[in-house]
């Protein structure tokens, strides 16, 4: 029987660690899994996952994760879309229009609090304006209240802005409406959508689990040098997801029209 423990960055947990735990579970060889607090929704397939670790550490896996090509053909990813869309159905969550998910963040990265790796207000406005006939789930978790991390939040008035639109539902609203925690809420949101907008990092990896199209934002030099966030990278192999890198926000409208 196998024991697993992980304390590192979210991207590595999704790409490299959880598939090992899931494979052990399928083979009836899982004894125990240990991880950070608030991670149980990502290990829905077992009751042997314990949330013991309080804070995430940096790193946690192979740097191949950042490459354009990375062989993940043997990685066994849990069926998140199937499970969470069925859960939504069971608890009566349904909508009469197609759904778009925007999974954003606003945290310090690479030791700085400027040139932030996030979807800015002007881009959020363009996305909303382009999807007037959709319902939009807007997700932006915060370190501490939503999940543990080894960084700090950066103040952002995005939710105040997004709350001005009648077709936009913020994560806090949905959590209260559905009576669910942050991670279960965001997993359900992604499971019901075929169109995802995300930020380079764990957000983008998470969105790639659910098929459809995943528009990955990131215009810093660090993001540009990590080819995994570029169009048609290996992330497309996880769930046959169309990966679309958005490097220049000035080209966002053109990109939206190209990949309707």
Q: Residue 199 is part of a domain; what is its CATH number?
A: 3.40.50.2000
* Residue after which a domain boundary falls, among 42, 77, 112: 77
pTM of the full structure: 0.94
Tens-digit pLDDT string for the chain (260 aa): 999 999 989 999 999 999 999 999 999 999 999 999 899 999 999 999 999 887 777 778 899 999 999 999 999 999 999 999 999 999 999 999 999 999 999 888 777 766 678 999 999 999 999 999 999 999 998 865 566 566 677 889 999 999 999 999 999 999 999 999 999 999 999 999 999 999 999 999 999 999 999 999 987 788 889 999 999 999 999 999 999 999 877 788 899 999 98
- Pair (66, 191) in one structural domain: no
201 with 183, same domain? yes
Considering the domain architecture, whether residues 64 and 114 belong to the same structural domain is answered as: no
Number of domains in the chain: 2
Question: What digits encode the pLDDT tens for the residues 210-226?
Answer: 999 999 998 778 888 99
The reply to whether 144 and 248 lie within a common domain is yes
pLDDT at residue number 147? 62
At how many degrees (to 10) do helices 182-191 and 171-178 cross?
A: 100
> So what's the pLDDT on residue 231?
96
Q: What is the dihedral of CA 33, 182, 45, 101, to 10 degrees?
A: -130
Paired tokens of 120: 């800015």
If we measure between CA atoms, which residue out of 112, 120, 123, 129 comes closest to residue 156? 120
Do 51 and 95 belong to one domain?
A: no
Specify whether 222 is located in the same domain as 112. Answer: yes
| 38 and 109 housed in the same domain | no
The set of residues, in sequence order, having a beta carbon less than 8 Å from that of 69 and lying 6+ positions away, is 233, 234
Q: Please give the residue range of the domain that contains residue 64.
A: 2-77
Domain boundary among 15, 49, 77: 77
Same domain, 102 and 222: yes
Helices (DSSP H) in 101-251: which residue ranges? 121-130, 158-162, 171-178, 182-191, 202-207, 221-224, 236-239
């Amino acid at each position: 029987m196998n024991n697993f423990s992980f304390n590192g960055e979210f991207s590595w947990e999704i790409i490299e660690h959880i598939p090992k735990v899931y494979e052990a579970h399928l083979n009836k060889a899982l004894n125990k899994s240990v991880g950070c607090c608030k991670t149980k929704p990502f290990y829905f397939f077992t009751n042997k996952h314990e949330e013991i670790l309080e804070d995430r550490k940096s790193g946690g896996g192979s740097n191949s994760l950042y490459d354009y090509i990375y062989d993940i053909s043997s990685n066994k990813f849990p069926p998140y879309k199937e499970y969470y869309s069925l859960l939504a159905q069971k608890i009566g969550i349904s909508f009469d229009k197609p759904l778009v998910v925007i999974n954003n963040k606003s945290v310090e990265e690479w030791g700085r609090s400027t040139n932030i790796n996030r979807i800015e207000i002007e881009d959020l406005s363009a996305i909303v304006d382009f999807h007037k006939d959709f319902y939009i789930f807007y997700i932006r978790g915060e370190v501490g209240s939503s999940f543990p991390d080894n960084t700090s939040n950066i103040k952002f008035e995005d939710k105040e802005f997004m709350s001005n639109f009648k077709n936009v539902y913020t994560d806090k609203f949905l959590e209260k409406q559905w009576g669910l925690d942050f991670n279960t809420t965001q997993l359900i949101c992604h499971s019901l959508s075929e169109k995802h907008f995300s930020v380079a990092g764990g957000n983008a990896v998470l969105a790639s689990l659910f098929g459809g199209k995943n528009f990955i934002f990131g215009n810093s030099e660090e993001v540009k040098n990590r080819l995994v966030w570029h169009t048609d990278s290996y992330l497309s192999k996880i769930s046959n997801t169309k990966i679309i890198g958005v490097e220049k926000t000035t080209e966002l409208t053109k990109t939206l029209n190209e990949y309707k």
